[in-house]
Structure 1
Amino acid sequence: MPFSSQPSEPIRQLLAGIRAFRARYYERRPDSMRQLVTEGQHPEVLLIGCSDSRVDPALLTMAEPGELFVVRNVANLVPPYQPDGSYHGTSAAVEYAVRSLQVSEIIVLGHAQCGGIRGLIRLRAGQKSEDDFVSPWVSIAASALDPYVGPEGSEQARADAERLQQTPAIIERAAVRASVENLMTFPFVRERVEAGTLNIHGWWFDLESGEMWAINPATRLFQPVE
């Protein structure tokens, strides 16, 4: 059996955190949680973030329970609309947030030092990968590399990839922009954006400085958020 009778230190810390959460929200502020139970969730924001343990959307934004509908995946990617009957976890979350919860804001949140984006850069340079799922997944953002990296496996691609591994922020941001563009391939997203009932935002968080950058709608370029 894969279960242990004695919890490890990481599990004990998590259990302590659950007890603290229960004390804060169920004992000191029971009305707010009771409302979420009886009335259901009504978040206004869908946040698509990375699975990276250093960039937790709720911690980063100081959001309260019920304020964010969050989907996290490797490299915070949104695939294009592709209703082919296969398993599409991120697309399902987008559909549920927009159609069922009727969120008014969608944020794609990227970040510095993203391992998924570094892996994408290595793939473009022709480095082989032995993983089963990560490489096909991050290839969703392959087009984000086109302005910055040569053809796959070429000498130029290897030289460009070596340079970008040192300063990958430009690709991390380009991947966020690609995901924003992919969101617009979902008919129910585009319909609401064009109707003015849904806004899409592209954000990038600098782990080193703590600064948040966002896409300027007018220029389509990232700039620091004041």
Structure 2
Amino acid sequence: MRRTPRLLLAAACVLAAGTACGSDKGDPVTAPTFSTVVSPTAAPVESASASAAPSPARSSTRPSPAAPSWPSPADCVSYNPNNLTVQYAAGIHQVMDGSKVVARLHGGPDGNVGDQGLALAKRYKRHCFIGRGNGREDANAYVFDYWRDSSGRSTTIPGEDDACSSYDRGNLQVNDMGGGQGWRVKDDDNVLHVFDDESDARDGRLVLAKYGRICRLGNPPDDDQDFVTYGK
């Protein structure tokens, strides 16, 4: 019987990669193991030059104050329209609420001036003025009347049509008359009233813009011009 030389057997063991020669039959053949090292991905670094987004501009939610609808502060006489009487003396008709003077109208003892003033006053509860205490020599000419707070009564004013004239309330102008003569509110060439200063004139325009007719009661002397006025 032919025997395999030992040298050939040893060479075969060297050439057989991964084979354990002469090992015990129960040993498992262990496959080579590999470990993989994964470098963690670095989080992106925010640029130092990047700045926070600017805050949005704040806007005010407060509404703009409304323009005044009547002169403020108001200079008014409040009264009871159900308690009015008329007194006459020395060319003046006074509409009275007890001892309180509500209105004064120039006129003689005859005629309807007192009745006109009484009928007008009964329509309202307040008689208001612009320009009282203006300090001018002809102060009454620079005082403008208007009436507030309806009483709910619709009285007839005798001769009212003759006492009133129309104007365009959308065309009211405030002008300085120059030379210290004061200010005026007019509709083109139709001068509606004169005032002591610009503030009074603008208050007068505010009132006149609510109406389309201006009415004047009383018969004052030429150098006084102390009419009682109202709008309608």
TM-score relative to the length of structure 1: 0.23
Bigger relative contact order (CA 8 A; separation at least 6)? 1
Q: Is the radius of gyration larger for structure 1 or structure 2?
A: 2
Structure whose residues are more often strand by fraction: 2
TM-score relative to the length of structure 2: 0.23
